[in-house]
Structure 1
Amino acid sequence: MNEKTVGMLAKFTGVSVHTIKYYEKIGLLSSARREHSNYRSYDIRACTDIYECMKYKNLGFALKDIRNLIKEADSEAVEDLLKKRLEEIEIALSELQEIKKHVTDYLAETKEIEKKLGNWYIEEMPDFWIRFQTENMEYGKDAQLESDGINFMDYAPESKSVLKISRESLNGIENRFSWGQAVRAEYIEDKVKCGNAWSRQKGYTRIKGGRAFVFYLKITGAYASDGILQKKIREIYREFQQDMDVPGDAYCVRIKITHDEEENDWNYLKIYILLKPES
């Protein structure tokens, strides 16, 4: 038999009826109508076209390029399209490598916080840029995350939720805190390639780092608004400096959130307190 119905062609080539009909609809395949039954029929050329379609599909070519490759392209055009596809793959691999690095770094970060929970250290706090979005539990005015063409969400997971608790709150004078999104200055200034431009960005604050008292904490509930976290920070700091007031604001970087069987969400925080904060 020199011609096959769509069902027979699907079995013969191992390609679904739906795919064959779709390829015909967009002009990659052609068929004839049988005189008496009005069924589509396909000659042996259809098999060649299907094999070529699937070859290029499995190489990741877009349908418009597949049409060009099997219907129009000469030898030079085939070579050009293959080179273009290789360039696309190189870009995709580079992007995947960057994602892999982010996942690897984040996994290491989650492991570190589990290992260090409940302990305190003296470490360097990095400089970072922060966009504050709340005053206590109220949304800030004009505090949308995107401002002047910059959106910290574009930098996730490098951008992190940060809770700033005022020095006065930590020492029991008042309860004042702000949530925001922050990115390490080194990372974002390298991306933007113009660190000085950041000083002109409205709504962004550059926090200068330095030697800091650092500890890791797991906490649940309304810990900021209820003052639970502030009290806990004060207690832990006074293990380090007995009977001393906390010297500066606390920057609480949220590393991850987990959930238990009782539907509590647990926030894992890395907390920095600069030992010599800028006045």
Structure 2
Amino acid sequence: MMTVNEVSKLTGVSIRTLQYYDKIGLLAPAEYTGAGYRLYDDAALEKLQQILLFRELEFPLKDIKEIVTRSDFDKRKALDQQIGLLELKKEHIENLIDMCKGLKLRGVRKLDFKAFDISKIDEYAKRAKEQWGKTPEFKEFEEKDKNRTDSEKADMMADFMKIFEEFGAMKEQDPASTRPQAQVKKLQSYITEHFYHCTDEILFSLGKMYAGGGEFTENIDKMGGEGTAEFVYQAIKVYCGK
């Protein structure tokens, strides 16, 4: 048996993260001491390794929890995918090293950006997620979406983004006030009706994604003005009691 402190030192995972994994039911210790301290056996360490592998594939924790607790979870398949991804990352790093060595020898007269191309890594991770990401929500979305025409899909997404435009019109208000909270409920209901059953937990995860930067944040801010994505997230936090 290993203590939480020993596991943290062995794996590089912080004690706080291990405690959080236990709290959300992702990785429970093998047992607790009489004083309430966590103890981990080999089986728990093996599961932690699986979790960390899926984190490398950039899966959200809620999906990892669903995957590693499946009765049909294929450890060998997961490991093969992880090896493939790491090999692609290794190739990418080696290309960057070669480029830097070339720059050191020849200067910057010949500009070459191929070493920065990570499309193969992104595509591999995408395929892995498609294989493992068959959550109930994903299956529900597939079922609802399979008979929609392109026109219907476009109209649906336009209506969806309209919700964020409406959020933008109220972003100067307190996110806990009546109108923003009613708008969050509208957002949740729309997702449930058109995509998949949107629980408060899923809604909160979406809120973090909306405000987390990148394409989601940019698109929402384009609809409602700068700061809309963050305002939506804050309103969702209140709605979900976070």
Same-fold call, TM cutoff 0.5: no
Pick the structure with more strand per residue. Answer: 1
Pick the structure with more helix per residue. Answer: 2
Give the alignment's TM-score, normalised by structure 1.
0.28
Rg (Cα) greater in structure = 1
Give the alignment's TM-score, normalised by structure 2.
0.31
